[in-house]
Amino acid sequence: MEEEATPDTSISSGMNERYTAPDHRSSLADTTRRLGDFLTRMSERRRVFEISFILHLLLFFMTVMASWTWGLFHLLAAADLAVFFLCILSALRSGFITELHSKGKGWTLLVLFFLPLIIQLLLLLEDPNFSQDILRLQFRGEALREGLIPYRDFEVNKPPLYVWMVGLVSTLFGPSPISFRAVFVVFNSLIPPLMYMIGERSKEANLSGFGWRTGAFAYALWPLAFLEVGLSGHFDPVVMVLVLLAYMGLVSGRTFSSGVFLGAGFALKMFPLFLIPLFFLGSSSRRSRWMLLPGFISVPLLSTLPFMISDPGGILEYLSYQSSGWGVSLSLRYVLDLGLSVWGIPLMSSFLLSIAVLAAGWVLIVISGMHGSRRGVTPVLLGLAFLSLVPTGSTVIVILADTTGPLISAAGVLSILASLAFILLSFRIILMSRRDAGPKRRRHRMRWLIPGWNLPSTITMVILLLLLVSAQYHPWYLMWAAPFAFASGGRTAWSFLLLSGPLQYNAYFPWDLGTHF
């Protein structure tokens, strides 16, 4: 007996059902998850690390050679950033870094020193075209060799120890750009070994993910440092070596020597001054922390005293210059001043708004210290994201400033709104913290005061906050925060890896056609 055929009702029933649109959000989430799983599987293979390492170096040197052609430079720089990120990720997941550590401390330190040294020495064959600071070093070195007195006979807008540094390099190796660049390359190559040694002494050597030792490898391949030191010849690595030595003294319990190194860094750059409260509270005991201040004062005092004796007026003129209202286009404060001046609003309003941003940032830092490293990630990411927007927009504004007055005014509006958003978001985080604490809220121990773990994250936040409201900002100032950001662990380090590249390369934009700043 034949089976009775049943009618196909799929079409008619489908017509009666209500149409449901596909969920694009879920499909996007699935695609993102699959891509993340694919990258994770790929990063666990040693061959991926080897290929990405070679490709990173190849793209970097192609980027340097294309630095006079801005369109090609940006494309190659973006590609190099992506490959650099994959290189660090694969080195971490494939076990290469663990294997490198297993070779022994001496072998690891040699690799961390000579790897960036060789790369940067090759850059000495290329003429610097990003910055004119190296020419100022040459001029001041020649003036010192001719017996001229700094601050009186020629202009110096740097602290006194800078003069001693320039004079020493000029005396030993000559006041040529190649001499200064070579010396600063050596100092920059010392940073990764110092980071590794700090990791050994701060009892975080066995932590998973990023830390001082993994961060040392990341810094050893960081393209921003290569460009700014090996190519441009900035002396910031000298300051960072001194700050890292100060941090090493702090975690080792040698508070006085920590203060000496931190004071020496302050005698070259101003930003170590803002780290004094963190180093003071982060010392191992209350008795030893008071030894930090005499050490900190000693080097600036000794380096300034000869100039005060020979020509007090020169030092006073330098101090007056540092306190004046100067700035450059890569600064939030400068954009605020520029925008408010179009409306005739007093510049004091810009200063007060910057102070409000500074205060809100300090509250965020305190909140992160009270609640540990997880909540502390938020202000770091906010600061990085906020800083990444300032250089590109403000540089474009300067380019168009002669013909687009309304654009300058709009830039002021956007900067004010962004500052207010930062303050309001900080206030929201404060309210959330109070709500989480509940009615039985009590004082929390400041966890960021524990040397060697949360303190790097706190130092990162302080430096980024300082850059946010300072009178000027240049991309190479990110080098101040880089070692501590890489050592902070987790999302802080990866965010720094992702954002530092676009910030660096977008800021390198010609002020005018065929010229560079």
Q: Are 190 and 206 in the same domain?
A: yes
Q: Is 103 part of a structural domain of the chain?
A: no
- Cα separation, 303 vs 517, in Å, equals 31
SS3 154: strand
Q: Which residue did the predictor score with more confidence, 392 or 248?
A: 248
Q: Are 222 and 349 in the same domain?
A: no
Q: Is 39 part of a structural domain of the chain?
A: no
Q: Are 334 and 255 in the same domain?
A: no
Q: Name, in order, each residue with C-beta under 8 angstroms of 336's C-beta and a sequence gap of 6 or more.
A: 350, 353, 354, 412, 415, 416, 419
Q: Which domain holds residue 297?
A: 124-323
CB 262 within 8 A of CB 296: yes
Q: Are 212 and 340 in the same domain?
A: no
Mean per-residue pLDDT, 218-244: 93
Q: What is the pLDDT of residues 256-281, one digit of tens each?
A: 999 999 999 999 998 898 898 888 87
Q: State the pLDDT at residue 321.
A: 62
Q: How confident is the model at residue 453 (pLDDT cuts 50, 70, 90)?
A: very low
Q: State the pLDDT at residue 205.
A: 43
CB 478 within 8 A of CB 500: yes
Instruction: Evaluate if residue 117 carries a pLDDT over 70.
Output: yes
Q: State the pLDDT at residue 457.
A: 78
Q: State the pLDDT at residue 1.
A: 44
Pick from 110-119, 328-337, 376-385, 477-486: least confident: 376-385
Q: Is 366 part of a structural domain of the chain?
A: yes
Last residue of a domain, one of 295, 323, 351: 323
Q: Are 316 and 411 in the same domain?
A: no
Q: How confident is the model at residue 11 (pLDDT cuts 50, 70, 90)?
A: very low
* Helix, strand, coil share of the chain (percent; to 5): 75, 0, 25
Instruction: Evaluate if residue 356 carries a pLDDT over 60.
Output: yes
CB 272 within 8 A of CB 300: no
- Cα separation, 459 vs 304, in Å, equals 27
Q: Are 337 and 316 in the same domain?
A: no
Q: Are 165 and 308 in the same domain?
A: yes
Q: Are 420 and 501 in the same domain?
A: yes
Residue 171 carries which side chain, given as an amino acid letter? T
Q: Are 503 and 376 in the same domain?
A: yes
Q: What is the pLDDT of residues 294-304, one digit of tens each?
A: 999 999 999 88
Q: Are 163 and 233 in the same domain?
A: yes
pTM of the model as a whole? 0.79
- What are phi and psi for residue 490, nearest 5 degrees? 65, -145
Q: Are 479 and 330 in the same domain?
A: yes
Question: DSSP code of 387?
Answer: H
- Cα separation, 186 vs 120, in Å, equals 9
pLDDT > 90: what percent of the chain?
24
Q: What is the pLDDT of residues 133-166, one digit of tens each?
A: 898 999 999 999 998 888 878 888 888 899 999 9
Q: If you compute the radius of gyration of the chain from its CA atoms, what whole number of angstroms results?
A: 26
Q: Is 156 part of a structural domain of the chain?
A: yes
Q: Which residue did the predictor score with more confidence, 29 or 239?
A: 239
- Cα separation, 373 vs 455, in Å, equals 9
Q: Is 433 part of a structural domain of the chain?
A: yes
Q: Is 38 part of a structural domain of the chain?
A: no
Characterize 96-135 residue by residue with b for buried, 16 or more Cβ atoms within 10 angstroms of its Cβ, and e for exposed.
bbeebbeeeeeebbebbbeebbebbbebbeeebebbebbe
Q: State the pLDDT at residue 393.
A: 54
pLDDT, the chain, mean: 75
Q: State the pLDDT at residue 127.
A: 83
Last residue of a domain, one of 300, 323, 346: 323
Length of the chain: 517
Residue 405 carries which side chain, given as an amino acid letter? G
- Structurally, the chain folds into a number of domains equal to 2
